[in-house]
């Protein structure tokens, strides 16, 4: 499952970071930042543009400013003109460094916004990457429910009408936490981590067939809901008994891929008389045990092989 490409407006970046703008084009609302990376200008000043990050923010720190100060004015103008011609969405001058006339003229010539900050480059880079990492994280929407069970984020999936929402209500009643019902907005915030949340307009609302819409926060209290959660496990509710149970399922080694990340998945057949809430809780506890090093399925297979002399 792949995600959609995101961007963030330059005006939002400036507002969130609290930047003091030295120059900004009139169409700042239309300028978009596409890259989560934040780069130093350094290599560009010596003519290396092969790895230029288009759509990314660039920093001019004390080292770069000292380098420019040591260059002749004509040289500064040439190198800065070439850099700004690549039109990065924003250049931030850090470390409370003084202005350089050539920066202002080149920025205005090419319509590139630039700003000053007293913070050191390392701090600006960390804060900017942290903000962009969330805003520009690859994302997708998925039909399902997201509940926090025993501290684990459980993504509950299955065909419409199979009973996901009813299971979620019972889980909340047992003290677990609702994050999203029906639609889960999933973001890949690192190479190993997915987070999920509900769209703002339907947050905490749950649709129950035969009853209608209920508000879980109003019904169960603020402690029964969470704005977002990491996703640790996928539980798929299926409407038929699976007659073939593989060693992979027994050992809990089955996975599903979402936005390039493999997550453990457990498939639970829905059948009259089965307590789905208890089974979902059990699946979650099994994953927690596996994380701590114990795998009941492998333990069972190992015991059976010993018993049969395998």
22-57: pLDDT as tens digits? 999 988 888 999 888 899 998 888 888 888 988 899
- For 77, residues 6+ apart whose C-beta sits below 8 A from its C-beta are 102, 105, 106
Q: Which strands, in side-by-side order, build the sheet including 255-258? A: 177-180, 145-149, 152-158, 233-238, 261-269, 255-258
Q: How confident is the model at residue 265 (pLDDT cuts 50, 70, 90)?
A: very high
* Residue whose tokens read 């039109």: 87
Residue 243: band (very low, low, confident or very high) from pLDDT cuts 50, 70, 90: very low
pLDDT at 226 over 80: yes
And the tokens for 167? 């299971």
- Give pLDDT, residue 241: 58
- Write down the mean pLDDT value for the chain: 87
- Higher-scoring residue by pLDDT: 182, 209: 182
The H-or-E segment that residue 142 falls in is strand 139-143
**DSSP count for the chain of H helices, then E strands:** 11, 19
Q: Is the pLDDT of residue 218 over 80?
A: yes
* Statement: residue 99 has pLDDT above 80: no
Task: Return the SS3 of 49.
Answer: coil
Reduced DSSP (H G I as helix, E B as strand, rest coil) percent helix, strand, coil of the chain, to 5: 35, 30, 35
Q: Which residues contact 279 (CB under 8 A, 6 or more apart)?
A: 268
Range in 19-33, 69-83, 158-172, 231-245 the model is least confident about? 231-245
Contact 178, 168 (CB under 8 A): yes
pLDDT above 50 (res 250): no
pLDDT of 66: 86
Among 31-40, 42-51, 59-68, 291-300, the minimum mean pLDDT is found in 291-300
Lowest mean pLDDT among 93-102, 111-120, 154-163: 93-102
Distance CA 121, CA 241 (A): 58
Contact present, 124 and 95 (Cβ < 8 Å) = no
- What pLDDT score was predicted for residue 51? 86
User: By the 8 A CB rule, do 164 and 156 touch?
Assistant: yes
Token pair, residue 242, equals 């699976």
Tell me what percent of the residues of the chain surpass a pLDDT of 90.
49
pLDDT of the residue at 26: 86
**What is residue 135's predicted lDDT score, i.e. its pLDDT?**
84
What is the average pLDDT across 245-250? 49
Res 240: pLDDT = 66
pLDDT confidence of residue 271:
80
Cβ 285 vs Cβ 296: under 8 Å? no
Angle CA(145)–CA(146)–CA(152) in degrees, nearest 5?
A: 145
Residue 19 has pLDDT above 50, yes or no: yes
Statement: residue 6 has pLDDT above 80: no
Average pLDDT over residues 1-17: 80
Strands 38-40 and 57-60: parallel
Q: Torsion-angle region of residue 42: left (phi > 0), alpha (psi -120 to 50) or beta?
A: alpha
For residue 247, what pLDDT is reported? 47
Confidence band of 244 (pLDDT split at 50, 70, 90): low
Confidence at residue 308, expressed as pLDDT on a 0 to 100 scale: 63
Instruction: State the pTM of this model.
Output: 0.69
The predicted model gives 66-89 an average pLDDT of 88
- The stretch 195-224 carries a mean pLDDT of 92
**How many percent of the chain have pLDDT more than 70?**
90
**pLDDT single digits (tens) 182-203:** 999 999 988 899 999 999 999 9
């Amino acid at each position: 499952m792949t995600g959609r490409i995101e961007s963030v407006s330059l005006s939002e970046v400036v507002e969130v970071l609290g930047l003091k703008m030295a120059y900004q084009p009139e169409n700042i609302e239309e300028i978009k930042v596409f890259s989560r990376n934040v780069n130093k200008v350094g290599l560009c000043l010596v003519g290396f543009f092969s790895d230029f990050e288009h759509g990314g923010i660039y920093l001019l720190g004390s080292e770069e400013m000292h380098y420019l100060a040591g260059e002749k004015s004509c040289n500064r103008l040439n190198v800065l003109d070439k850099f700004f011609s690549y039109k990065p969405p924003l250049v931030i001058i850090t470390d409370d460094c003084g202005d350089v006339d050539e920066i202002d003229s080149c920025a205005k010539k090419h319509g590139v916004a630039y700003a000053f900050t007293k913070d050191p480059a390392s701090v600006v880079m960390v804060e900017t990457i942290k903000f962009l990492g969330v805003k520009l994280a690859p994302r997708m929407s998925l039909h399902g429910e997201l509940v926090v069970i025993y501290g684990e984020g459980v993504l509950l999936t299955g065909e419409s009408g199979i009973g996901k929402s009813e299971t979620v209500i019972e889980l909340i009643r047992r003290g677990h936490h609702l994050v999203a019902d029906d639609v889960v907005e999933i973001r890949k915030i690192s190479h190993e981590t997915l987070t999920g949340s509900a769209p703002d307009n339907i947050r905490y609302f749950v649709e129950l067939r035969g009853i209608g819409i209920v508000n879980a926060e109003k019904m169960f209290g603020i402690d029964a809901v969470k704005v977002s959660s990491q996703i640790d496990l996928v539980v798929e509710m299926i409407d038929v008994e699976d007659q073939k149970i593989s060693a992979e399922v027994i050992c809990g080694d089955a996975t599903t891929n979402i936005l390039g990340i493999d997550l453990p998945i457990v498939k639970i057949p829905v059948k009259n008389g089965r307590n789905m809430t208890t089974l979902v809780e059990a699946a979650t506890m099994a994953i927690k045990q596996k994380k701590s090093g114990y795998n009941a399925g492998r333990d069972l297979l190992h015991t059976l092989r010993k018993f049969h002399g395998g």
